[in-house]
Amino acid sequence: VRTIDWVDGGVEIIDQTALPARTVTRRLSTVNELVAAIQTLAVRGAPALGVAGALGVALAARQYREEALAGAVLRLETARPTAVNLARGVQRAAARLAAGPDAVLAEALAVRDEEIASSAAMAARGADLVTELCGPAPRLLTHCNTGGLATVVGGTALGVVAELHRRGALRGVVVSETRPLLQGARLTAWELGQLGIGYQLAVDGAGPFLMAQGMVDAVILGADRICANGDVINKVGTYAHALGAQRAGIPFLVVAPESTVDSATPSGADVKIEDRSPSEVLSFAGTLVAPAGAGAINPAFDITPHDLVTAIVTDRRTLRPDPAFSGKM
Amino acid sequence: VRTIDWVDGGVEIIDQTALPARTVTRRLSTVNELVAAIQTLAVRGAPALGVAGALGVALAARQYREEALAGAVLRLETARPTAVNLARGVQRAAARLAAGPDAVLAEALAVRDEEIASSAAMAARGADLVTELCGPAPRLLTHCNTGGLATVVGGTALGVVAELHRRGALRGVVVSETRPLLQGARLTAWELGQLGIGYQLAVDGAGPFLMAQGMVDAVILGADRICANGDVINKVGTYAHALGAQRAGIPFLVVAPESTVDSATPSGADVKIEDRSPSEVLSFAGTLVAPAGAGAINPAFDITPHDLVTAIVTDRRTLRPDPAFSGKM
């Protein structure tokens, strides 16, 4: 099953807000429906957002003309700010607008197919690297969701985990729950269950401690944007795990397609970090936990400086930033 | 209002599992009721647990004799393993058993009164130190709950925060929510609201990032046990914040009474870290968030090595471990 696809003239997604309780397929027939799905995280994950953006332009090309069309493209492009894939997917498809709706759709489907191919390539390359660095039976910690739900099928970091499992080269997985929206507890746990891979959930704050205790051999996770200097923008909590990995002396591995590499952005300091609603922090699974009137600060992503990153695995390259890393991605 | 006290021949506590929705006073008339209250965290916080343990022996001395009494004392002493205060409070009161119930109660009330005096001393000493290190308008990040609810009245780290507020020497507070049981979001937020101190909640994983962004000037929190070498045992998530503070170059301050200093335990590696039920991670407020059948690992505390600690403030001393710290606490 694909997380997002073009079916009978519209976009179909697995609604990730309903998981793991229910697997619901939603049909999105208008740009506004798709923008709402992006903003509520019904569809999420950098590669999937790239496909969503491109397919959104295909919807827009059928729905609008002229100024209204330009406005719809802009709404798609800016629906969320941090993952580079969304704007890039929109721009790729929008570059074909002059050639008509069919050309736009063809480009959007190409974005989709490239993400599917990227997932397969990353899985093989990443699994090779994990085995090289950690031996034949590693225990991995992952954060947020980077599986098929974050791409189209397969995944980025979780695709590597699945490939290691298929090869019989995986000892265990710790899943960081990923507050506030619990993508680890809800989505990664669900995907690992579907794949028959054993795992243990842990609260986010426990990650560095489990590393210090020798219970984790490497951290492996995805990215929403990789800057020219190798800084990694990813789900909030990533940076804390990177600090834990550095102190424990274990590899910190980032797996993302080339479509997430943004060589036009020099460093993490240049990226807009999405601030989401305080209500996500003040509530837990729909229950208000904080006192009435409480305030909250809710950055959805954080910045991991490149010196904390052992390796970045894309569908085409394996890069190893070191303390003297000065290269361009 | 006292978090725990001896009233009319029994123990009365504010039930911390009901906060912040309701303020419920519970009366505990038997050792078994008190042990259950300790294990469910209806009463919690290292200093409060010391008082609970001592008052529990006062209950036991009235309820049991001979072998049954010894068994009750052991149940109290081992109700939870990590905070040194619990066993120490039990042992202090139990040392008076031969002198009869009134002598036991007098010792337990002395433990209570000493904790009240300690809170006041820590507040003054800690506030002086924060101002010295951070200037007149610091923004502080705290984790878990270290206020009056964790002691009898006043608090440890949160007592310092309150004192800074009283002095007009506090710019803001970030409260780390403290999964899985949300002591930050439920209890610290409630206490700060009662004190009229503004704050912002944040998910635990955001702490190090907020420090890196320059939004936090110091981390201030408590301890469940401080080892002879200065290693700090505290609520899980503490170590990740310490790593974040080190990288950001901001002070990491631990505030705890002398009753939490355990010079008989050489280092953090020698402390039993309580493993609590996976259900605390898998669900919240009765709502299961993970898929059915999910596993979890749930260490309730972690170990912060002394080289990450800028200063330890007790009611009698301010210690500043440095990378060459070899002292005995």
Cα A212–Cα A214–Cα A218 angle in degrees, nearest 5: 90
Cβ of B202 within 8 Å of Cβ of A298? The answer is yes
Q: Write out pLDDT tens, residues A120-173.
A: 999 999 999 999 999 999 999 999 999 999 999 999 999 999 999 999 999 999
Q: What is the DSSP string of A140-169?
A: EEEES--BGGGSSSSBSHHHHHHHHHHTT-
Residue in chain B nearest A300 by alpha carbon = B206
The whole-number average pLDDT for the span B6-13 is: 98
A296 neighbourhood in chain B, CB within 8 Å: 200-202
What distance in Å separates residue B162's CA from the closest CA in chain A? 17
DSSP helix/strand/coil, A275: strand
pLDDT value, residue A77: 98
Catalytic residue among B5, B217, B224, B302: B224
Q: Tell me how close the Cα of A184 comes to any Cα of chain B, in angstroms.
A: 9
A195: closest CA of chain B, how far (Å): 13
- Name which of B289, B293, B302 is nearest A186 (Cβ-Cβ): B289
Q: What pLDDT, in 10s, does the model give residues B32-87?
A: 999 999 999 999 999 999 999 999 999 999 999 999 999 999 999 999 999 999 99
Closest-CA residue in chain B for A172? B295
What pLDDT sits at residue B321? 78
Mean pLDDT of A8-19: 97
> In which band, very low, low, confident or very high, does the pLDDT at B284 lie, cut at 50, 70 and 90?
confident
Helix orientation angle between A84-94 and A46-63, rounded to the nearest 10 degrees: 30
Task: State the pairing for strand pair A172-176/A200-202.
Answer: parallel
Q: Which of A202, A247, A290 sits opposite B297 (nearest CB)?
A: A202
pLDDT tens for each residue of A257-277: 999 999 999 999 999 999 999
Complex ipTM value = 0.96
pLDDT score of A53 more than 90: yes
Do A178 and B205 count as a contact with CB atoms less than 8 A apart? yes
pLDDT tens for A297-328 read 999 999 999 999 999 999 999 998 765 555 56
Q: Which of B112-126, B173-187, B315-329 has the lowest mean pLDDT?
A: B315-329
In a mutagenesis test of the B interface, which of A22, A142, A284 is the best target, namely the one with the most B β-carbons within 10 Å?
A284
Do residues A209 and A240 lie in contact, with contact meaning Cβ atoms separated by under 8 Å? no
pLDDT value for A286 = 83
Measuring CA to CA, which residue among A241, A224, A240, A244 is closest to residue A232?
A: A224
- Secondary structure of chain B in HEC code, one letter for each residue: CCCEEEECCEEEEECCCCCCCCCCEEEECCHHHHHHHHHCCCCCCHHHHHHHHHHHHHHHHHHCCHHHHHHHHHHHHCCCCCCHHHHHHHHHHHCCHHHCHHHHHHHHHHHHHHHHHHHHHHHHHHHHHHHHHHCCCCEEEEECCCEHHHCCCCECHHHHHHHHHHCCCCCEEEEECCCCCCHHHHHHHHHHHHHCCCCEEECHHHHHHHHHCCCCCEEEECCCEEECCCCEEEECCHHHHHHHHHHHCCCEEEECCHHHEECCCCCHHHCCCCECCCHHHHEECCEECCCCCCEECCECEEEECHHHCCEEECCCCEECCCCCCCCCC
Instruction: Give the pLDDT of residue B326.
Output: 56
Portion of chain B with pLDDT greater than 90, in percent: 95
Q: Across the interface, do B281 and A203 touch by the CB < 8 Å criterion?
A: yes
Where residue B323 falls among pLDDT bands split at 50, 70, 90? low
Asked if the Cβ–Cβ distance from A200 to B296 is below 8 Å, we say: yes
Average pLDDT of chain A, as a whole number: 96
B247: which chain A residues are within 8 Å (Cβ-Cβ)? 243
Q: What is the DSSP letter of A2?
A: -
Average pLDDT, stretch A237-264? 97
Name the minimum distance, in Å, from the CA of A210 to any CA of chain B: 9
